[in-house]
Amino acid sequence: MRTEKVFTLDDIPRRATLPDVRVFYVTDRWSLRSRAGLHLQDVISAVAASGHLVHLIVGQVDQRPPESLPLTVLPGLRDHDALDALLSDADVIHVQDIDAPQTLARLTASGRAVVTIQDHRAFCLGFGKTLPDGRRCGHPMSDTACAVCLSERTQRSRALARAAARRDALAAAQRVITLSTYMARELDAVGISDAAVVPPWLTVPQRQPRGGKGFVLGGDWGSGIDAALAWQAWCDAETPQPLLLAGEQPEADALTGATPLGWLSREALHKHLLHARALLLPARWQEPFGILGVEALACATPVILTPRGGMADWAGSGCMPVHSVEDMAEAIRWLAAYPTEAMSLGMIGQQRVRAQFQPASLLQQLLTIYDVCAC
């Protein structure tokens, strides 16, 4: 097995020309069971390794962060006076996944806030800019347009007011960061312009896959992933290759014949991807980015996907776009029948995403944003 160099925190050049910047990270919940949580952990670790001083402030902790990471827990982030006192020492306040518009507004009013947006809450009241019939919603938020997804008038009115408050809070941020050009365009449409696109960097083992058995279905089943579509396509393909279900979801019990893997750590999931024939990523909504697909490609594993939203930034080489159960079944059938071609397809995708999502380059973009905001 050929082994390539792995990007580690030791590869990050320490900054020599500017004084260290104190970066405080604020989030509602610290959880490593989500791609967003894992991405935040990667960011904090890399920024600390670059020489910056970091501190994490959270409203709830699901898994204990590393002991080396300074941590303060403010239950629910409700004590705004305590939050202000903590943040008085920060040069940059990096905000991610704050639900309450009032808290978000307090943070962005500081004049030192960088906000990462990984969800649709600033520009959509429904299901990720996707209409009930599955079509992409191309309308701006309004009482009339949003009635399709929220029929109850009082609920809709409250949701519109909350989204407007969130939009106004984001507009006051010193800089907004998104993971994809799709998200930047959506934010621009609601008046939040010039968002910086800084996608996640890869933390995938830098080695060649071995084998290539089985189709992995992964992602956020509870919202963005259409597990039933993928399962039906696998059944219709009539392949002896197994369907492996990554994640703890009640829906797994209904997918007869598939193999549940339960919740997997990132390392365990990457191990399965390295040995899979392909990843199935049937998005039901407009994906903010779809990092799992990029991780699969970095493992030289092809991705069969329904291209939506931010997937457009990476869903090219190494991917098989589909638009129906029939399309996905045919793609599964083809990859199952031609393992050599499947490996070649994955290798093409691997070469592209490793060039496109270089950790050092993406980290430097983020550090430059910090430097500008701290001045």
* Residue 73 CB contacts under 8 Å (≥ 6 apart), including other chains: 57, 58, 59, 60, 61
Which DSSP helix (H) or strand (E) runs through 242? Answer: none
Extract the residue ranges of the chain whose pLDDT is less than 70: 1-19, 204-211, 219-223
CA 343 to chain CA centroid, nearest Å: 26
Burial of 111: CB neighbours in 10 Å, binned 0-12, 13-18, 19+ = exposed
Tell me the CB-side half-sphere exposure of residue 117, using CA atoms within 13 A: 32
Q: What pLDDT, on a 0 to 100 scale, did the predictor assign at position 209? A: 61
Q: What pLDDT, on a 0 to 100 scale, did the predictor assign at position 6? A: 37
Q: What is the pTM of this model?
A: 0.89
User: CA 43 to CA 25: how far, in whole Å?
Assistant: 10
Q: What pLDDT, on a 0 to 100 scale, did the predictor assign at position 10? A: 47
Over the stretch 164-175, which tens digit does the pLDDT of each residue have? 999 999 999 999
Q: Helix or strand or coil: residue 110?
A: coil
Q: What pLDDT, on a 0 to 100 scale, did the predictor assign at position 210? A: 63
Q: What pLDDT, on a 0 to 100 scale, did the predictor assign at position 253? A: 81
Beta-sheet strand order (sheet of 303-305): 259-262, 243-246, 215-217, 278-281, 303-305, 319-321
Over the stretch 60-102, which tens digit does the pLDDT of each residue have? 998 888 888 899 999 999 999 999 999 999 999 999 999 999 9
